[in-house]
A = this chain, B = another copy of it.
Amino acid sequence: MSTIREQALACRDAARVVAALGSEAKRALLRDMAAALEAQSAAVLAANAEDMRQATAKGVQGAMLDRLRLDEARVAGIAGALREVAELPDPVGVTTRRETRPNGLSVERVRIPLGVIAMIYEARPNVTADAAALCLMAGNAVILRGGSEAIHSNLAIAAALHTALRAHGVPEAAVTVLQDLGREAMVELLQLVDIVDLAIPRGGEGLIRFVAEHARVPVIKHYKGVCHLYVDRAADLGLALNLLIDGKTSRPGVCNALETLLVHRDVADAFLPRATQALRERGVELRGDERSRALVPDMHAATDDDYAAEFLDLILAVRVVDDLDAAIAHIRRYGSDHTEVIATADQAAAQHFVQAIRSAVVMVNASSRFSDGGELGLGAEIGISTTRLHAYGPMGAEALTVERFVVRGDGQVRHPQSRAQC
């Protein structure tokens, strides 16, 4: 038996212990995990310094290096996030529906944990604690397979979490950080169909594709966000400009940032030059189609690839469209099913947009940056699903459970002639 399988089996055994914990026991555990993380922050920071040293030596820099970096404030932030998860409603055991059938059977749908969740991510060490907390709150055990750049940080964070698990009588394997980060190990993990109930890949296109290609266990993808803002003919242009600036510039490196602006031709000359100026003042580069460039002559020309791109940077693709349906057709062709926004004062146009677009989140007159579990009321999120199954959009603790049927009777049989005469 291989090491990966052994670790996964231990995680599955631990999952049964976690599933049996009551709400208050889980809350106390999460709070103690936060305290343990703070108590061991020196060890976590030392491990992170080693990761930073190796990453710098390999030439990692910029946003990626920043995502890897921890400091006292960030560790405190991670501990704070654990305490927030501890306050979330417990989804496990919740009865979502209840019905009494004509034959007297009581039929309930009750949420149960999924079991063992494999979280596959890249360089952000905070995901190690965040994902562990959400999985535990939903009654699951978790196998964490982070990026090799963050391995020392991830192990140090897990060591702190394990202190709390031990104190609560929960096997350490309930939060398992894999140390073998080779591709073969990941493939083995993704094919443990009798052990792993769900794999959640979060990261770049290459990672998602690799997981989708090799997984035999169920996968919920957290794929790229090519988010669109469509400025309708009936838009309040001041409102639309605010949504555009917030969506593109407030945090360009995240998946709910805007990547493409679509403008109805009737308002293009009133909106585009003004929007261009406001964006350029904020350092945004624009890439447009011919009609956009006719209005803003010094705009770069957009390619087909630009419309499909998740820039994650201060770059915006722009297109003037003939009407609402042309905007919808563009989004269907280039979108990634993540988040789309319409700015319009026309209720009928808004309704048509909402019905025609099948993305996980559709916004009417609100910024794409609200496409986030916390902002939409889930409390915390393990990611934003672009898989149109089970959970679509921001995934909170509830999305880490499933409804099953609990039926209570007093001896009902389906075929009464089955009754024994006794």
Taking Cβ atoms with an 8 Å cutoff, the residues of A that contact B are 19-20, 99, 101, 105, 107, 112, 114-115, 193, 197-198, 212-213, 216, 218-219, 236, 238-239, 241-243, 245-246, 249-251, 274, 278, 350, 354-356, 358-367, 369-371, 375-377, 387-394, 402-415, 418-420, 422
* Residue of B whose beta carbon sits closest to that of A104: B366
A313 shortest CB reach to chain B, Å: 17
B198-A245 in contact (CB<8A)? no
Contacts of A394 in B (CB 8 A): 405
A364-B404 in contact (CB<8A)? no
* Residue of B whose beta carbon sits closest to that of A345: B410
Q: A377-B99, A389-B218, A394-B405 are in contact. Are A246 and B413 (CB under 8 A)?
A: yes
Count the copies. 2
* Residue of B whose beta carbon sits closest to that of A113: B358
Q: A198-B389, A218-B389, A242-B418 are in contact. Are A354 and B406 (CB under 8 A)?
A: yes
B422-A239 in contact (CB<8A)? no
Contacts of A407 in B (CB 8 A): 361-364, 366, 370-371, 376
A371 shortest CB reach to chain B, Å: 8
Alpha-carbon distance between A421 and B288 when the two chains are bound, in angstroms: 24
Alpha-carbon distance between A114 and B387 when the two chains are bound, in angstroms: 10
Alpha-carbon distance between A238 and B422 when the two chains are bound, in angstroms: 7
Given contacts A363-B409, A365-B409, A369-B414, 8 further A-B contacts (CB under 8 A): A101-B376, A198-B389, A213-B216, A250-B418, A363-B408, A366-B407, A369-B413, A370-B407
B389-A405 in contact (CB<8A)? no
Sort A-B residue pairs by CB-CB distance and give the 3 closest, nearest first. Answer: A366-B409, A246-B413, A246-B418
